[in-house]
Structure 1
């Protein structure tokens, strides 16, 4: 075998392993956005250029990329399940994703059971005024077992023999901003209590109905549960625990015919995220709770900048919740719902970078995307002989999209 033929087969083998493994991971992750596809092609071509150029292999690679494009873009026939006789239970419908989804599903003809924290609140009043008689409002704090059980009894009484088609776990809370060391223990416990234990309680309570109907569970999670977003330790940890729970349920419920999906949205303006008084209250509470020593080492200006950054992110977040609502509808009516859905602009690219680029580059991208901090802790400034950096003029340049959510 001459040197040219040997080089060709070595090149073909290396490229087959690289492209095959990358393609498998890419397709199973359901990343279908154009930026992600372009990034994948760019990475493949970069490796290709490092190998020996050979025209037949280049043509074969082009064909493979074309097949990948067509396959990843094809979602199968445009067939959806009928809406008739389908009932859906949704948590956290006072505002945000739950509120918008309850309205949309009711308009489509679903029988909707929507939980709210306050039956006399503005969100509940809007649902009463805009939705049909099919929608049932239930006052439920998902951290209160008795209220969850009462919601189950009310749902079963109204459904009769019809059965519950789906549970949409939407209720969640994010009350934290700041470094993990500065975050209050009450924030960690609060996020876990709602996002993990509350969702677990609702899911366990309604599982018998879902197993009986061979229905489905749809859970709104967050990329911060899988990637280390700075200053979101308490929220991210609770979502990480939730993700593992849902994935475990997916395996365990497969023999029962229950489909389990997770939706990972990008940044949207929901709940208290645009409330200036809310951010100021959280900031003052944090300052009052920190020990004098810890506050001295970090500095009030460091904490203030973090608050301002989060507030800017919230103001810049997307107000159009339709990408998430459409994704929930797809997961409800698709004959073969996906395990994971990415909802909203940029989140597919975020996951691609996290999955395929070196960790150092992925971490740097995440930090620059989410937190462009200019102020360093006071103790480090003294140690390095640095003066206080002017951060107020830089905060206006932050175009970050991630924002804490109150679903």
Structure 2
């Protein structure tokens, strides 16, 4: 088979890495890819949101299956364009992708079909939003309605922080159209959980759970990021609790969308808060999580192409996933200053040495090849994933590998999976 993967981050490197292990796969292309992906696949410099150009490429290269990593091409309708051309694609339609593309759409689906979530109110102007804050107690949750690369969510400790967040969206327009609408949401407390599942539009097959770290600094301090690390499994999640989430969140969401005339084919990602009143949905994503994928896929021992093809064909019956009992943790190495301003173009040293640590795989996120060297090219630069028999061993291996890598202004959290111990 010829496979095309869309995207350029650590998630896509992990997907390419796992896909190339399949005996069914002969050739992998990636658009646009990165410095690490280029070692496994042929990278092609096309715009990943130019869905017509992507479809033409897939036709020209006789691609058997296209796997979409990031959310932007999905919201732009890549699955719809590919379907019209008779091309198989792994990822939901544009209508289904609104589950991530519009937080208000997701809230409406959850409220209509009884999926547990926090209360929220939608605003399109600063005055009304600021006035609504006066009715609430701190802390405050402010969310840009549209896609903001994981940076449009603010947890404000007081009214001044909350008003600054509202201004950044509604007045300063830092997130463009994504921040034209803003949700002020009920603050929920408890451990967070990432639950991912394959869906063919009718059934779901859940993957192993993971936890990620959104804040930039240790002890969950600093700004929200796209994710600074992750680990799997999650010891506080019993099989009973996981089954409850599947039955009360994943299945009703797929069934609710189907009732709206929307067939959801792809990966459904539910960000869950485990509150004292039970699981509550914080957000939905319509693709593999990043960096959760880098902690989940190393634990998958079965062929990933099987469920991907089954999803694309609309029939998951008979598909089973197999997982190792080993745990996995992923540490994100970021550019200093991320998620704010940062510089790129710094040479990265020690990648080969880090890769020699047993059980470690280094996934590239924001990298590129320049003059024959791997250099930094993004906010999140590398993901160091380590398998171990327990979290103590996995942490030791991961941070041993991290210690072998260097680039100027390199930043990472030291507490990934510490809570799992």
TM-score for both structures, normalised by structure 1: 0.29
**In proportion to residue count, which structure has more helix?**
1
**Larger-Rg structure:** 1
TM-score for both structures, normalised by structure 2: 0.28
**In proportion to residue count, which structure has more strand?**
2
